[in-house]
Amino acid sequence: MRWIALLGALALFGCSDRTAAPIIPDALNFGLNKTVFIGTTRAINEAGEFGIGRSETLSLIEATVSIPPERSLGTVSDGFDKPKPERDFALAEMSRFASAAGFSQRLSQEIKAQARDSRDVVVFVHGFNNSFSDSAFRMAQLAHDLELPGAHVSYSWPSRGNPLGYEYDRDSALFARDGLADLLVAIRAAGQPNIIVVAHSMGSALVMETFRQREIADPGWVGRNIDGVILMSPDVNIDVFRSQFERIQTIPDPFVVFVSRKDAVLRLSSRLRGQKTQLGNIQNADAIADLPITVVDVSAFSDRRSGNHFVAGSSPALIQLMRRSSDLDREFLRGRTGATVLLPGQRRIFAPVSAAVTSQQSAR
């Protein structure tokens, strides 16, 4: 009955139009303005916006996201087609580049404007049930709340933006592999910056498939081009993940997986597949303990708003802890050897076959 109730709630939520992406110039006068670069394989719809259709052409964009002045840490308020900048995230400006070279040149300028030790590029790949605006807003929120250094890029693949569009999104994630690879190449051309790829949910499957594809075509590509990987609540089958991972000749360091044993969304995803768990809600790290990755269990940090499916980016308590850790927001994100993650529980050095584990008792 719990699953029937959840599906009913998702269906009700799906009645909202979440695909609108209006530009609100007045939003520049509210809150904080954040520059977010965007690569998208969404097609332009009849309203002239990037909708749910698939495009074989990668569009490259610079956007200004307005973050409302008063909001709770970890939250993203979306007004859909009628955002109120004093309360909601909003797209205040947006311009499209005529070429990949123009994108790389402008991104290079943004990178060089940063402090010399902060010239990184964080690339966020969203998950299932996201609109074009969602991905830009989430990148801006993560950059602001986690105080991420460097420049920030969102890859917006053609999700339907509807909780009942799971199969459409799975197909779209496969469709979007070439676009993500092209985006990473364009970013790398902007002065060879450190690239940190952060993916959520189904976006993790897209990232791993893209890495596998690039490794088959050009062995060693991932190690030469990607400096760190962070998978949040990955909606990926463990066996599939292992086959993807083992294709990578040189593993980026760090390679971190955030998991939650309380993830209700991945529990449903697992049930639909007839499996016990997906990678993002494993009960322990035994199934991947032989892989050179770090597993961070955030089950102790409850986030009922997202069904514990985006704890690493939306739990105020966890965000506060990560913001206080200079090792996490700088050395960790740059993939420096010896960086540490400071979470309740045990302190772990980022190294092969390590796990940072939290407990409810130590989180209190």
Please indicate whether residue 277 or residue 307 has the higher confidence score (pLDDT). 277
**pLDDT at 340 > cutoff 50:** no
Tell me whether strands 151-156 and 90-96 are parallel, antiparallel or unpaired. unpaired
Residues 6+ apart with CB under 8 A from 141: 67, 74, 75, 76, 89, 313
Of residues 50, 47, 46, the one with CA closest to residue 126: 50
d(CA 172, CA 174): 5
- In this prediction, residue 114 has a pLDDT band, given cuts at 50, 70 and 90, of confident
Report the range of poorest mean pLDDT among 24-28, 90-94, 129-133, 252-256.
252-256
**pLDDT at 347 > cutoff 70:** no
**pLDDT at 341 > cutoff 80:** no
193: its two tokens: 């910056």
pLDDT (mean) for 129-146: 94
Buried/exposed 262-275: b ≥16 CB within 10 Å, e otherwise = bbbbbbbbbeeeee
**pLDDT at 343 > cutoff 60:** no
What is the count of structural domains for the chain?
A: 1
Report the range of poorest mean pLDDT among 155-164, 189-198, 267-276, 355-364.
355-364
pLDDT of amino acid 17: 52
Report the range of poorest mean pLDDT among 15-19, 165-169, 202-206, 359-363.
359-363
**pLDDT at 176 > cutoff 60:** yes
CA 202 to chain centre: 10
pLDDT of amino acid 322: 64
pTM of the model: 0.86
d(CA 358, CA 364): 11
d(CA 27, CA 42): 24
pLDDT above 70 covers what percent of the chain?
82
**pLDDT at 298 > cutoff 90:** no
- In this prediction, residue 51 has a pLDDT band, given cuts at 50, 70 and 90, of very high
CATH code, domain with 243: 3.40.50.1820
Dihedral sign from CA coordinates of 310, 290, 330, 131: negative
Amino acid at 321: L
CA distances from 151 to 9, 37, 112, 283 (A): 37, 8, 9, 35
Q: How many other β-carbons are positioned within 10 Å of the β-carbon of residue 71?
A: 16
Tell me which residue range forms the domain holding 255.
2-363
**pLDDT at 136 > cutoff 90:** yes
pLDDT of amino acid 283: 87
d(CA 133, CA 22): 9
Partner residues linked to 63 by β-bridges: 36, 94
Give the N- to C-terminal CA distance of the chain in Å, as an integer: 32
pLDDT of amino acid 285: 81
3-state SS string for the chain:
CHHHHHHHHHHHHCCCCCCCCCECHHHHHCCEEEEEEEEEEEEECCCCCEEEEEEEEEEEEEEEEEECCCCCCCCCCECCCCCCCCCCEEEEEEEECCCHHHHHHHHHHHHHCCCHHHCEEEEEECCCCCCHHHHHHHHHHHHHHCCCCCEEEEEECCCCCCCCCHHHHHHHHHHCHHHHHHHHHHHHCCCCCEEEEEEECHHHHHHHHHHHHHHHHCCCHHHHHCCEEEEECCCCCHHHHHHHHCCCCCCCCCEEEEECCCCHHHHHHHHHHCCCCCHHHCCCCHHHCCCCCEEEECCCCCCHHHCCCCHHHHCHHHHHHHHCCHHHHHHHHHCCCCCEECCCCCCEECCCCEEEECCHHHHC
Is residue 263 within 8 A of residue 279, CB to CB? The reply is no
pLDDT above 90 covers what percent of the chain?
58
pLDDT of amino acid 321: 59
Reported as a single tens digit per residue, the pLDDT across 238-274 is 999 999 999 999 999 889 899 988 988 899 898 888 8
pLDDT of amino acid 323: 62
Count of all residues that appear for the chain in the document:
364
